[in-house]
């Protein structure tokens, strides 16, 4: 028999009692595919059940990992096939300009694998990282390993929390969620610092002409020299010379 459950876990207990692994699979799948449902919460609850001998721990881990990978993969496919067109059509209404989209693509080319791997531990990113990766056209060969690794780490951590917590699940779950909120706050602060840094760099960047060159520069980027004085001197000299002749 499972120990007394805190509020969010107790509310999902009837669903898990009736549908077992299916409930875990469906909610975890949706939670990793844009839809904000309590997939993480039901995973912890199912792990509590496994600790009490009511579910199989290996089967639970397998269902959770497969569902998380499948959900993130579907979100990636949706982003890859229709996300970019939606950005071009509707992005201006949410200030998602082509320039900002280009910067997002550049960021995912450099750091996309790390984002996809760790995103599941942050609410909001867990639901959308696959969609963002697909929209920014992150290569499939980089997305898939990060997706599988992230799913395995996420499912393993939260399953361990529920399985080993036992009668302390209430306190442990609340503490884990609190630290997850702190992690989100840290990531949000880092993102804000990056935005401010980018804004400051763009603000202090020298102005460019229509051809994209900094004024007083030649096409190869080298500063142009002012030869007008030399030319005037040469012309004056030639003029004096011709007058004497």
pLDDT tens digit sequence for 61-78:
999 999 999 999 998 998
- How many other CB atoms sit within 10 Å of the CB of residue 134? 25
* The overall pTM is greater than 0.85: no
Farthest-apart Cα atoms in the chain, separation? 118
State in Å, rounded, how far the first CA of the chain is from the last one: 118
Pairwise CA distance, residues 231 & 11, whole Å: 87
pLDDT, mean over the chain: 74
Q: In the chain, which residues have pLDDT < 70?
A: 1-9, 83-105, 166-245
Pairwise CA distance, residues 122 & 120, whole Å: 5
Pairwise CA distance, residues 109 & 139, whole Å: 8
pLDDT in tens, 35-55: 889 898 899 889 988 888 889
In this prediction, residue 242 carries a pLDDT of 47
In this prediction, residue 13 carries a pLDDT of 83
In this prediction, residue 62 carries a pLDDT of 97
Within 13 Å of residue 186, how many CA atoms lie on the same side as its CB?
8
């Amino acid at each position: 028999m499972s120990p007394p459950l805190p509020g969010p876990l107790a509310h999902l207990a009837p669903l898990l009692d009736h549908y077992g692994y299916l409930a875990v699979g469906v909610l975890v799948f949706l939670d990793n595919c844009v839809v904000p449902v309590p997939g993480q919460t039901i995973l912890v609850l199912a792990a509590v059940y496994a600790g009490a001998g009511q579910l199989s721990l290996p089967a639970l881990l397998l269902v959770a990992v497969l569902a998380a990978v499948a959900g993130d993969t579907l979100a990636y496919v949706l982003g890859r096939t229709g996300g970019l067109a939606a950005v071009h059509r509707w992005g201006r209404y949410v200030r998602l300009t082509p320039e900002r989209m280009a910067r997002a693509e550049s960021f995912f080319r450099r750091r996309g694998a790390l984002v996809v791997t760790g995103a599941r531990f942050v609410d909001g990113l867990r639901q959308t990282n696959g969609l963002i990766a697909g929209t920014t056209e992150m290569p499939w060969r980089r997305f898939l390993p990060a997706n599988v690794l992230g799913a395995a780490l996420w499912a393993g951590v939260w399953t361990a929390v529920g399985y080993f917590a036992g009668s302390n699940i209430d306190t442990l779950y609340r503490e884990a969620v609190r630290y997850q909120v702190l992690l989100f706050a840290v990531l949000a602060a880092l993102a804000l610092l990056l935005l401010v840094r980018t804004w400051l760099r763009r603000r202090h960047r020298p102005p460019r002409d229509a051809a994209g060159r900094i004024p007083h520069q030649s096409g190869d980027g080298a500063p142009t020299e002012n030869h007008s004085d030399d030319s005037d001197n040469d012309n004056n000299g030639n003029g004096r010379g011709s007058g004497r002749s």
